[in-house]
Chain A
Amino acid sequence: DAGITQSPRYKITETGRQVTLMCHQTWSHSYMFWYRQDLGHGLRLIYYSAAADITDKGEVPDGYVVSRSKTENFPLTLESATRSQTSVYFCASSDSLTVATNEKLFFGSGTQLSVL
């Protein structure tokens, strides 16, 4: 049971470079999310997706691009990385948003990104 996996675990890049963080889940969950976590801000939602080819902005989407061509993958791209994007990034998935199914968010282990 692989669950939800993120790669890479650690990434160092330079300002202005493009970086893609990968997220893969094996449960065929419909919903996937990207959060970033910074000291003093807690977890903040960047983007989310309700299904393949359906994405929407969260609280802090500027500077990020997402795609969802397949249900199991939800990559996050920083098109031109900035130092303010240094953070820990968490991907999450959920199989439903209805109360009846008692949905939960399942989080990956995170990617620690440093932009120099």
Chain B
Amino acid sequence: DAKTTQPPSMDCAEGRAANLPCNHSTISGNEYVYWYRQIHSQGPQYIIHGLKNNETNEMASLIITEDRKSSTLILPHATLRDTAVYYCIVRVNLQGAQKLVFGQGTRLTINP
């Protein structure tokens, strides 16, 4: 399974775009990139995922490089409620099973 590398912490001003990088240089062709976040004392929450193309939903945008070795999660207008630990995860689609490998994540702090 591919592993991911993320900075341990980041800060961002409220109202600005938060750009969270993730390195997954050993990713293989069939592995998807997933992003989850965990707000203190809660279970992780799904944000977005992608394979090759950039993706956008109501929560965030995901930019994946052409070689797929890295990606960036973008929160376009960060709010205080976006303060959380953000996990970049590579999923391996096995026959009949799924394995998500969670790394240490990035602790994002949104400052007023």
- Quick check: is B96 within 8 A (CB to CB) of the other chain? yes
- With A50-B96, A97-B98 as known contacts, state yes or no: A104 contacts B43, CB within 8 Å: no
Residues of A within 8 A of B98 (CB): 31, 48, 94, 97, 103
> Is A50 within 8 A of B105, CB to CB?
no
Per the CB 8 Å criterion, the residue count for chain B at the interface is 22
Residues of B within 8 A of A31 (CB): 97-98
The residue among B49, B99, B103 with the most chain A CB atoms within 10 A of its own CB is B99
Residues of B within 8 A of A102 (CB): 49
Residues of A90-116 at the interface with B, using a CB-CB cut-off of 8 Å, are 90, 92, 94, 97-99, 102-110
Could you list 19 A-B pairs, sorted by A, with CB under 8 Å? A35-B102, A42-B102, A42-B105, A43-B44, A45-B99, A45-B101, A50-B96, A90-B44, A92-B44, A97-B96, A97-B98, A98-B93, A99-B32, A99-B51, A105-B36, A105-B44, A105-B100, A107-B45, A108-B43
